[in-house]
A and B are shown apart, each in its own frame.
Chain A
């Protein structure tokens, strides 16, 4: 009896000890992971400050990282030991090694964003926050590999320097000028969603028509007249574009503006020519549409509705019949044929 009891107690005890050791290991790993993430976040923050020519003090770091002081000190010590940052008159600064590391993290972030944009159906507003979580050391999301596509979904150049740009809000005078959208800020989410809904995207051209007190009227290269409020305009970044072809394009669009519409607004049997497809139709969906012939200059014609209404609707393109939902048809720009 006694020996059995002793055996039982030892067995239970050893299991308990093993469990505790395991628990400690798990907690240690979680702590390491957290520190690594915060370390990389701090490097990114410092890099951003550097680009904006701002100085950073320790209290700035504390405000940014929202960490307990002892933990922050620990992380700063690690960074100092790794020679990624240095102290310079009370200010925290990145060393050249630190800059390299920060650039690498940002590059990874953009590659992940590009991958999510092209290869998954995760909604566009969520992409940034997922990339923010996944950019640290171990991630299951592969990076985008195509080297010729080197710009992320917000227009940032994945590796190397971007074209210099300025906010749309900073345009004070000289309407009638053509600009290229270079970058769209993805935070805060609500404003980004608004911009996506207006279908403004990197690589699109816009022409400023009128500057008002609280908004800006623009014309896009897909023939849409939009009114952008100043808060939204502040998140759209542009650069001047002096290209004869683009100027000609806008002249043509202004001439035909009454014929330009989106696919969903066409009446049954009204033939039209496609002039462009939204940037935000992407990945698998875009590939399907391109395969089926939804490209520039194709002729398209709504054939009939369905039993329950006009969503989805059947279109005739290249002698085949394709049904599209309203949301997609809205993102396809057409010019009515007369």
Chain B
């Protein structure tokens, strides 16, 4: 009996050795063959030659040709960003109005409950206002950009962009899908980091996560636009022709995207060299063009992306609001500004800008309000609509000129990710090491670039 068993086991072992790696392939092969056998019985495949399918083929050929590919990419980016930025302003001011009403309401309730004045100030001026301003500035651009993005994703255009861009990213050791995560990064870096899940190979995914920050997100666009209108346009041209002005401003924005792209590619190359023992693979499904599903767009863009990011932003805004409140209560801001000033001056910035960026850690959107608050010595974030009064404050209180503008723009593109993104990077990589690297590396890059630009280039221009 036992001898029989031993013989059987030996036989099985021999088969195992013989068919080792072909075993699994064989099963799947048979599955596929059986499925296609069944399908040929019940489904009648015909080469469809009607107008639509022909049209689809031509569209595909056009989109993957040189001219078509470039048109697709540029029109996609400019339309999405234009709609987002113009639309967001209206919703944002509407939201701030609502939040002001709620603030008055909350104050009244707390006063009726006879809560101590200091506690009211802490809860309203610290916690509530921090959260309110982050929501008011972050929600609108995301609520517009993400549905737009998901719409085009559903249409099937995005995989074609990824396909077209892959060669560039391959040359720096990254994945073509990184182009998509970077476009999401235009909307929000935290969402961009989450979207790197579409990159299946771990090395490329890590590269995409660590470099996503170099894409200016919605929160940084207003600052970039503002500075290029207020400082770069007058520095380049004296004429007050509005058309010329807007052309120069858009060129400045395009070049900031190109700077971000350049740093993305260089850093990707460095990272892929550093991680060279990991090999990688690239498989991309190209879906057919299809009619977007409205309900799904709303669900994925609002629930999955917008609210997901926003909840993390609120979570990170509370401590920042408390931080600002404490600084204002203790009148620390002037001390801190004086403390950071010599450091900032090294890089063409000043102490106020550094402190504003520290305060704006939870959201890049609040850099401008924080700057206004610190320069004017106000106790609250200041939302100023008038470009001219912003210009007055910056030049009078802050002594800004176009060189400061260039430095701030560069810093805005290259600096560390916001705290929401940092938290997201930690959740996605599950590694403290990479989170720290993702935070410190852009800072080092930003400061060293600024140091070089400020001391070698800008100082020599008069």
Q: Which residues of A approach B to under 8 Å, CB–CB?
A: 120-124, 126, 148-151, 157, 160, 163, 202-203, 277, 279, 281, 284-285, 288-293, 295-298, 303-309, 311-312, 314, 318-325, 328
B20 surroundings in chain A (CB, below 8 A): 149-151, 203
Asked whether, in the complex, the Cβ of A314 is within 8 Å of the Cβ of B163, the reply is: yes
**How far is A290 from B202 in the complex, measured between Cα atoms in Å?**
20
Please determine whether B285 and A307 come into contact, CB atoms closer than 8 angstroms.
no
A123-B277, A123-B278, A284-B200 are contacts. A306–B25 as well, Cβ < 8 Å?
no
Q: Chain A residue with minimal CB distance to B204?
A: A121
Q: Is the CB of B167 within 8 A of A309?
A: yes
Knowing A203-B20, A295-B32, say if A126 contacts B277 (CB, 8 Å). yes
Closest 8 CB pairs of A and B: A307-B69, A285-B281, A307-B164, A321-B286, A323-B284, A123-B279, A308-B167, A151-B20
Stretch from B57-65, B107-115, B124-132, B311-319 at the A interface: B57-65
Indicate if the CB atoms of A325 and B286 lie closer than 8 Å.
no
The answer to whether B241 has its CB under 8 Å from any CB of chain A is no
- By the criterion CB–CB under 8 Å, are A295 and B163 in contact? no
> Nearest chain A CB to B88's CB is how many angstroms away?
31
User: CB-defined interface of B265-285 with A at 8 Å, one 1/0 digit per residue?
Assistant: 000000000001111111111
| Given known A121-B281, A304-B61, contact A323–B16 (CB-CB < 8 A) | no
A94 → B minimal CB distance (Å): 25
For A325, what are the chain B residues with a Cβ–Cβ distance below 8 Å? Answer: 166, 170, 281-282
CA distance A291 to B35 in the complex (A): 12
B66 close to chain A: CB less than 8 A: yes
Contacts of B36 in A (CB 8 A): 318
| B298 sits at the interface (CB 8 A) | no
Contact of A149 among B21, B280, B285, B286 (CB under 8 A): B21
Q: Which residues of B contact A149 (CB under 8 A)?
A: 16, 20-21, 23
What is the count of residue pairs linking A and B with beta-carbon distances less than 8 angstroms? 132
CB distance from A336 to the nearest CB of B (A): 20
Kindly state the separation between the CA atoms of A277 and B283 in the bound complex, as whole angstroms: 15
| Given A307-B69, A309-B167, A319-B45, A160 and B283 contact (CB-CB distance below 8 Å) | no
- Within 257-308 of B, Cβ neighbours of A (below 8 Å) are at 276-288
Q: Which of these, B33, B60, B280, B283, contacts A304 with CB under 8 Å?
A: B60
B278 touches A121 (CB 8 A): yes
Partner of B66, one of A279, A307, A314, A321: A307
How distant is A290 from chain B, measured CB to nearest CB, in Å? 5
Contacts of A288 in B (CB 8 A): 200, 281, 283
A86 to B410, CA, bound (A): 71
| Contact of A308 with B45 in the complex, beta carbons under 8 Å | no
Q: A150-B16, A203-B22 are in contact. Are A285 and B167 (CB under 8 A)?
A: no
- Measuring CB to CB, which residues of chain B are less than 8 angstroms from any residue of chain A? 13, 16-17, 20-25, 28-29, 32-33, 36, 45, 60-61, 64-66, 68-70, 159, 163-164, 166-168, 170, 176, 200-203, 276-288
Interface of B is mostly: helix
Partner of B285, one of A281, A312, A320: A320
Q: Which residues of A contact B280 (CB under 8 A)?
A: 121
Contact B21 A122 (CB under 8 A): no
Asked whether B21 lies within 8 Å of A308 as measured between CB atoms, the reply is no
A322 and B279 contacting across the interface, CB-CB below 8 Å: no
Cross-chain contact B29 with A295 (CB below 8 angstroms): yes
Q: Show 7 residue pairs from A and B whose CB-CB distance is below 8 angstroms, ordered by the A residue.
A: A290-B28, A291-B28, A295-B25, A303-B60, A312-B176, A314-B163, A323-B163
Smallest CB–CB gap between B261 and chain A, Å? Answer: 15
Measured CA separation A308–B33 after assembly (Å)? 36
Query: B169 CB to closest chain A CB, in angstroms?
Result: 11
Q: Are A306 and B69 in contact (CB under 8 A)?
A: yes
A328–B283 contact, CB under 8 A? yes
Closest-CB distance, A113 to chain B (whole angstroms): 14
CB-CB under 8 A from B288, the residues of chain A are 321
Given the interface pairs A151-B21, A297-B29, A307-B164, the reply to whether A312 lies near B64 with Cβ below 8 Å is: no
Closest chain B residue to A310 by CB distance?
B167
Identify which of B21, B22, B36, B278 gathers the most chain A CB atoms within 10 Å of its CB: B21
C-alpha gap A20/B49 in the complex (Å): 82
A334 → B minimal CB distance (Å)? 15
Complex: A303 Cα to B285 Cα, angstroms? 13
Q: Which of A121, A203, A291, A318 has the most chain B CB within a 10 Å cutoff?
A: A121
The complex places the Cα of A148 from the Cα of B283 at a distance, in Å, of 28
Nearest to B33 among chain A residues (CB) is A297
For B276, give the chain A residue with the smallest CB separation: A123
Task: Give 11 A-B pairs besides A121-B203, A290-B24, A307-B66 with Cβ atoms closer than 8 angstroms.
Answer: A121-B278, A151-B17, A292-B285, A296-B29, A305-B64, A307-B65, A307-B68, A307-B163, A308-B168, A312-B284, A324-B282
Q: Which residues of B contact A285 (CB under 8 A)?
A: 201, 281, 283
Q: In the complex, A306→B63 CA distance in Å?
A: 8
Residue in chain A with minimal CB distance to B164: A307
Contact present for A121 and B201 (CB under 8 Å): yes
Does the CB pair B22–A284 fall under 8 Å?
no
Q: Which residues of A contact B66 (CB under 8 A)?
A: 307-308
Among A203, A290, A296, point to the contact of B21 (Cβ < 8 A).
A203
Say whether, besides A322-B286, A328-B282, A121 and B28 are in contact (CB < 8 Å): no
Contacts of B281 in A (CB 8 A): 121, 281, 284-285, 288, 325, 328
Instruction: Name the one of A122, A297, A314 contacting B279, with C-beta atoms under 8 angstroms.
Output: A122
How far, in Å, is B23 (CB) from chain A's closest CB? 7
